């Protein structure tokens, strides 16, 4: 899953400090856009779909096994965890194939700054998501 790792590293270079929820939405949108442009899915991720959300099977473990990133946790003044995310901890150059980079850049430019709920809504309201959910896609 080298390509998937490189895509995650590239995302974290472009939009740092991302929660797995957001990373998974970006990856779904990247797969969707690649499918639209090239007629096939880009990654090997398996998306477990539900009507209002989804998850990528084994995704937290996948992220934890990338040596160039680390899980970070921010705590409130009482010491309770309030936010967790993954951060790029090694400066790495990521070379994506031009067709892949074009899709990743397009997705990040369009959706990279959306709040979590809007980002999820973009995914689950797409016609393709509904088709996949119904088993037609």
Q: How many domains does the chain have?
A: 1
Dist. CA 123–CA 94, nearest whole Å: 26
Q: Which run of H or of E encompasses 49?
A: strand 47-49
Tell me the per-residue pLDDT of 3-60, one tens digit each, with 9 for 90 and over.
999 999 999 999 999 999 999 999 999 999 999 999 999 999 999 999 999 999 999 9
pTM of the model: 0.92
CA distance linking residue 115 with residue 90, whole number of Å: 26
**Rounded-to-integer distance, Cα 49 and Cα 46, Å:** 9
Neighbours of 68 (CB within 10 A): 16
Closest listed residue to residue 103, CA positions, set 25, 33, 32: 33
What is the C-alpha to C-alpha distance for residues 132 and 137, in angstroms, rounded to an integer? 4
pLDDT in tens, 68-80: 999 999 999 999 9
Residue span of the structural domain in which 26 resides: 2-133
């Amino acid at each position: 899953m080298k390509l998937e790792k490189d895509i995650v590293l590239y995302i974290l270079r472009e939009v740092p400090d991302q929660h797995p929820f957001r990373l998974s939405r970006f990856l779904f949108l990247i797969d969707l856009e690649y499918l639209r442009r090239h007629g096939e899915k880009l990654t090997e991720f398996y998306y477990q779909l539900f009507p209002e959300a989804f998850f990528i099977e084994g995704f937290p473990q996948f992220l934890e096994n990338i040596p160039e990133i680390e899980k970070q946790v921010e705590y409130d003044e009482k010491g309770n965890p309030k936010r967790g995310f993954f951060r790029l901890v090694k400066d790495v150059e990521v070379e994506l194939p031009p067709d892949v980079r074009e899709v990743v850049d397009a997705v990040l430019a369009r959706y990279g700054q959306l709040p979590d709920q809007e980002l999820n809504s973009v995914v689950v309201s797409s016609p393709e998501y509904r088709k996949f959910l119904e088993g037609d896609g």
